[in-house]
Structure 1
Amino acid sequence: MKILTLLAAVLLAPQVAIAQPVFDSHVHLWDGDKSIGEYEAQVKGAGLTITGFGGMWFGGPENQALAGNPASIRAHNDALLALAKRHPTMVPIATVHPYDAAAALDELQRVAGLGVKMLKIHPHTQRFDPADPRVLALVRRAGELGVVVVMDNANIVPGGDSEKLFNLALSAPKTKFVFAHLGGLNFRFWNILKMARTAEGLFGDNIYFDISATVTLAADAPIEEEFIWTLRNVGIDHVLIGSDYPQFSLKQTLDALDKLDITPAEKAKIRHENARALLGLKP
């Protein structure tokens, strides 16, 4: 009887949730150490544990990553690398401006030599055209150096940007890209990848996405089924989680992901496994 009572107590006891590993691929560090401290406090306060995060410096109220400032960009990249040394869970995401041409290529070469694995460039914030030949030269060189190129894809500019990003990635098949926000509310465009990958001589397996911001809008919304359909068409293996901190919190983002009607295995890939494979991170 005592054994049965003990067994029943175990079965009826509240189940303790097992923390799932998370890599947050999209964190803005506008104020250096202060931003990291606030971010980590927010994550801890939400009861979350992260295996790492991708931190970038440019953007925010005063964007200093515009063309014509290569010395300033270099200094900010150095500050970012110094932050990463002080915060081992941080993967530094450097930047350059494509219109700085040779100076941008030199800075890319330099930061890659210092161990940088990711480069973020932002057509809207940095005011450049993704179809410009200087952009193609830069991203091709990034691919040669093994650097993943992250580009904004929120489609907040007139005419959108998905088509240009798609053709840029096709023109640089040896470069891996992460298009942030999965096209925003124009995410449906990216279902073209399912067809593109069947065309002889046409690629698309070098295109990845983070679903920062967009997932918080799609979860529990009329567009959720189409959003999930898109995730599966672009390939769950090609999707990363990102918070877009400080605009959104990691908790908001993970809560939204949990609401999506996809399998636990698919969620695990998005939370951590895909970033680990793409960036060569430790398990």
Structure 2
Amino acid sequence: MKYRLLLGWLLLSLSWLARAEDPPKIFDVHVHIWEGEKSVKEYLAQLAAAGQDVTRFGGIHMAVLGKVAETRAKNDELIALSKTYPKMLPIASVHPYEGEAAFAELQRLAGLGVRAIKLHPHTQQFDAADPRVLAICKRAGELGLVVLMDNANILPGDNQKLFNLALQASKTHFVFTHLGALEFRFWNILPLARTAEGLMEDNIHFDISATVVLVADSPLEEEFVWTLRNVGIDNLLLGSDFPQLSLKKSVDALNRLGLTAEETRKIRWDNAERLLLKEGPKPLR
């Protein structure tokens, strides 16, 4: 009896040790799948070569104006790839200027279980302040789709237009990618904006892809960390922006910011899991 108890405690201890040594969960929400399965294989090969684990990743497609059939086919390709590669979450796309075709595609995607779409004012050549963009974003929110939108400040007024868009499409959850890049300072307006009763919902989130790599170990690092805490650690997600940058670089940069273990865990996995997987976007008033 004594030996069986000892063996039991030993097995329990070994089990705990194995769990303690498991790699941390990581969700890379920003992986461009420009060339279908070839891109997925290249991404996974890059991870393997760097010794970098990933738990889930968002595979992104961006629609081209005037190519409705191609957009649908590309979205279907992403969905099919996510079944072949279960770690991949398909992040589909429409073009806001396609009118009824874009609305129909949103409806179809939601029916197929897609959880998010990607819009990019610069690459897709649209104005984020255009009423057609607002209409698409509102409909996405009604369908339970999260909208990822580029926020690298490539175009003038990027931050301001996206902030206004999120205020107007208040029932839609947005993930603004790159956290404004080197104009991240703007987003420190959020703590003040939240004090204005009835102004905004908790629908603005950010990925820190690319910007975190640039800012870590720079003279801006301290201000960047201050910004992360001002916009809210619970609103931040990790991304690589593959193939331009690697997940390894993003993870290493995040680890150098001096955040707490809890803050790092939330950015690395918890927030993306809550928003895109476990619960999906929470309903907004």
> Normalization by structure 2: what TM-score?
0.89
The DSSP-based 3-state class of the residue aligned with 1:25 is strand
2:11 corresponds in structure 1 to none
Decide whether the 8 Å contact of 1:174 with 1:206 is kept in 2.
yes
What does residue 258 of structure 1 align with? 255
Q: Which residue of 1 aligns with 2:15?
A: none
Partner of 2:29: 25
| Aligned partner of 1:103 among 101, 104, 123 | 101
Gaps of 5+ in 1: 1-15, 59-64
Q: How does 1:39-78 map to 2 (within 5 A)?
A: 39-58=43-62, 65-78=63-76
Q: Distance in 2 between matches of 1:125 and 1:95?
A: 12
Contact 1:94 1:120 in 2 (8 A): yes
Q: Identity across aligned pairs (percent)?
A: 62
CA distance in structure 2 between the aligned counterparts of 1:100 and 1:173, rounded to whole angstroms: 23
Is 1:35 the equivalent of 2:39? yes
Distance 2:64 2:157 in 1: 21
Match among 265, 272, 276 for residue 275 of structure 1: 272
* Equivalent residue runs for 1:45-194 within 5 Å: 45-58=49-62, 65-157=63-155, 159-194=156-191
In structure 2, the CA distance between the partners of 1:179 and 1:224, relative to structure 1 (3 Å rule), is same
Query: Which residue number corresponds to residue 62 of structure 1?
Result: none
Q: Which amino acid aligns with 1:32?
A: G
Partners of 1:112 and 1:145 within 8 A in 2 = yes
Runs of 4 or more, structure 1, over 3 Å off, are none
In structure 2, runs of 5+ residues without a counterpart are: 1-19, 280-285
User: How many corresponding residue pairs?
Assistant: 260
Residue 46 of structure 1, CA deviation: 1.9
Q: Distance in 1 between matches of 2:84 and 2:189?
A: 42
Secondary structure of residue in 2 paired with 1:174: coil
User: Does the CA contact (< 8 Å) of 1:25 and 1:54 recur in 2?
Assistant: yes
RMSD over aligned CA atoms reads 1.3
In 2, Cα distance between equivalents of 1:130 and 1:151: 9
Counterpart residue identity of residue 25, structure 1? V
The equivalent position to 2:218 in structure 1, one of 221, 230, 252, is 221
Cα deviation, residue 88, structure 1: 0.7
**Contact 2:61-2:118 at 8 Å conserved across structures:** no
CA distance in 2, matches of 1:70, 1:172: 24
Amino acid at match of 2:188: N
In structure 2, give the amino acid aligned to 1:36.
V
3-state DSSP of counterpart to 2:91: strand
